[in-house]
A and B are shown apart, each in its own frame.
Chain A
Amino acid sequence: MARDLSSSAVAREPLGVRIGLRVVTIGYVVMLVGWPTTLVFKNAFGDGLSSVSDALTDPAVTSALQLTATISVIAVLINLVFGVGISLLLVRYEFWGKRVLSTLIDVPLSISPVVVGLALLLVYNGNDGWFGPTLEKLGFQIIFATPGMVMATVFVALPLVIREVVPVLQEIGDDQEQAARSLGASGIQTFRRITLPGIKWALVYGVVLSLASSLGEFGAVKIVSSNVSGETQTATLLVQAKYEGFEQTTAYSVAAVLAFAAMACLVIVSILRPKEQSS
């Protein structure tokens, strides 16, 4: 376009400014994020592969990684179902208190994980919690057990699916859903054939982001977990315990596994996003 050609002279800053900004910003990101992150992998593999594999086959470590994986999968599934449900309600229906609900949904994003843990503890602990003693009499232990850790993880990652799905639902509108319904499709059919394909990519991002967040949850889980090695110790809790117990290679190895999983999630999202935008 002709306008672009003529504007390029105006829009480009002098070379000195550009190079200067480039150096400062790249230097900042490398020193703050890039270099330290690579060091974790170096520290993990510094003593050779065998010490890493020793560390990762330690029963406490495998059980922690398994627990983290289990909790994360359950939490992601719960957030997926409720995320889609709440998104549909927020976009397609009108009800009293909707604005408040849609604002409150974002609360977990800016709240301290420690506050999340404490909040759950106050309600569900078996001694003096609001519901805890009753639930324990019925045989459900929540705090210091897996359900509490799942709840903490779900709480922290709650808005991620919703924030991805809501804008897409708003954008695609409901003309096709209306058409399908007027042609006699049931609610479930309409959802499966029309709505779901439309929000497919948003769901994938939401799931990947929730997964990354769930795998790495620390503060909230720490408070509601009894942190017993081999039982209720997740991978992130184990990293802290091992580092403070001077088992640094183990700490760095598990941290490297978690960092690798987080990076994988990032790369998946960054590969998927442009594809969706161009289509």
Chain B
Amino acid sequence: MTSVAVQDPSPVGNPGTAPGAARKRRARSVGSLGGPSTLGLGVALTWFSVLVLIPLSAVIITASGGGWSEFWSIVTSTQTASAIRLTVTQAAVVTLLNVVMGTALAWVLVRDRFWGKRALDVVIDVPFALPTIVAGLVLLSLYGPQSPLGVNVASTRWAVFLALAFVTLPFVVRTTQPVLEALERDAEEAAASLGAGRLTIFRRVILPALAPAIAAGAALSFARGISEYGSLVLLSGNLPNRTEVASVRVVAYLENGNQAAAASVAAILLVVALVVIVGLDLIQRRVARRGA
């Protein structure tokens, strides 16, 4: 405890990242960078800049190269605008579906007990691990032209919906599950003893506790849905104005040698991704503050 008196080394106070014990430890040992660690930081930052920061800035700079009016005319051209609209609506609808099904799945995995639950738990992660091009092929084999069910959604908007639902399945489940596991049942019991019905308990007690986790999962799911490419290549047919999504539009522009237009659509995707990341960070900080 003596070390608490040592001055906080971070002038900005660093909210959210170092609650409680971590801060105490940090205050003792974390200080100025020494020789070898400064070198390490330099190397790491150089690598990160060369790999991530400079290329991503290049997207933004190329997109803005022709000025606002050119950017605007590219993203509002019929084909591109309809690709962006399709991407956003499908990602939003799939995210809503994930909020419902993901929460239900998390509930079943935590609160229910049945044979094969562990298998279900593993299968939910399959979309995370499966290569996206394989995911497209996988869906084609059940919902494509040779479907054993006789359902063929290939090259329709349902294909986009299906592919996005597949690749985003784990997000809400995986963010909600640990929170539900850690949830104390005292409040539920208290509510029940006061005469609350199950629906009321779910709505007034469980749901508010899960809300930040569900929101985080939904944000991740939306970001992934917006940016999906691989699983759609074989499945959606990439028909202009009908099943073509934003990522496919970027590739189409590139294949026509129009880098500026590709960068313009990519810049929109990039900004959405950044907004989601910052939003998630805010959600997590708010939750950490409430928990502390």
Which residues in A have some Cβ–Cβ distance to B below 8 Å? 7, 10-14, 17-18, 21-22, 24-26, 28-29, 31-37, 39-40, 42-43, 82, 85-86, 88-89, 92-95, 98-99, 101-116, 118-124, 130, 151, 154-155, 158, 170, 173-175, 178, 187, 212, 215-219, 222-223, 236, 239-240, 243-244, 251-252, 255, 258-259, 262-263, 265-267, 270
Contact = CB atoms under 8 A, between A and B. Distances in A.
Q: Point out which of A89, A98, A112 has the most chain B C-beta atoms below 10 A from its C-beta.
A: A112
Contacts of B48: 82, 86, 101, 104-105
A21 B136 CA distance: 28
Contacts of B112: 18, 21-22
B290 interface: no
A3 B55 CA distance: 57
B232 to A, nearest CB: 10
Contacts of A86: 44, 48
B101 A25 contact: yes
A193 to B, nearest CB: 17
Interface in B1-50: 9-10, 12, 14, 17, 21-22, 25-26, 28-33, 36-37, 40-41, 43-45, 47-48
Nearest to A68: B131
Given A89-B44, A99-B17, A103-B278, A94 B31 contact: yes
Given A40-B137, A118-B262, A259-B134, A113 B30 contact: no
Contacts of B254: 118, 121, 223
B58 A22 contact: no
B251 A155 contact: no
Contacts of A258: 130-131, 134
Contacts of B83: none
Interface residues of B, number: 101
A36 B142 contact: yes
Contacts of B179: none
Given A11-B185, A104-B52, A122 B229 contact: no
B142 A35 contact: yes
21 contacts: A25-B108, A36-B141, A43-B141, A85-B44, A93-B37, A94-B9, A101-B45, A107-B274, A110-B227, A114-B227, A130-B58, A151-B51, A212-B129, A216-B130, A239-B134, A240-B133, A240-B234, A255-B134, A258-B130, A262-B130, A266-B128
Interface stretch (B74-82, B119-127, B207-215): B119-127
B137 A112 contact: no
A11 B188 contact: yes
B224 interface: yes
B84 interface: no
Contact of B55 (A31, A122, A244, A262): A122
Contact of B124 (A17, A29, A40, A85): A29
Contact of A265 (B12, B58, B129, B166): B129
Contacts of A32: 162, 165-166, 169
A96 B25 CA distance: 19
Contacts of B220: 109-110
Contacts of B36: 187
A251 B134 CA distance: 9
A7 B185 contact: yes
Q: Point out which of B10, B30, B59, B189 has the most chain A C-beta atoms below 10 A from its C-beta.
A: B59
Nearest to B224: A110
Given A89-B40, A112-B250, A130-B54, 16 more contacts: A25-B120, A28-B105, A94-B10, A107-B56, A110-B223, A112-B246, A120-B55, A218-B132, A218-B133, A218-B229, A219-B251, A223-B254, A236-B132, A255-B137, A259-B131, A265-B129
A10 B266 contact: no
Contact of A24 (B14, B104, B227, B228): B104
A278 B268 CA distance: 45
Contact of B266 (A89, A118, A178, A244): A118
Contacts of B31: 94
Contacts of B105: 25, 28-29
A39 to B, nearest CB: 4
Contacts of B250: 112, 114-115, 118
B71 interface: no
> What are the 10 A-B residue pairs with the smallest beta carbon separation, nearest first?
A216-B131, A112-B227, A119-B55, A110-B223, A262-B129, A218-B230, A122-B58, A219-B229, A39-B141, A36-B142
A107 B59 CA distance: 14
Contacts of B22: 170, 173
Contacts of B133: 216, 218, 236, 239-240, 255
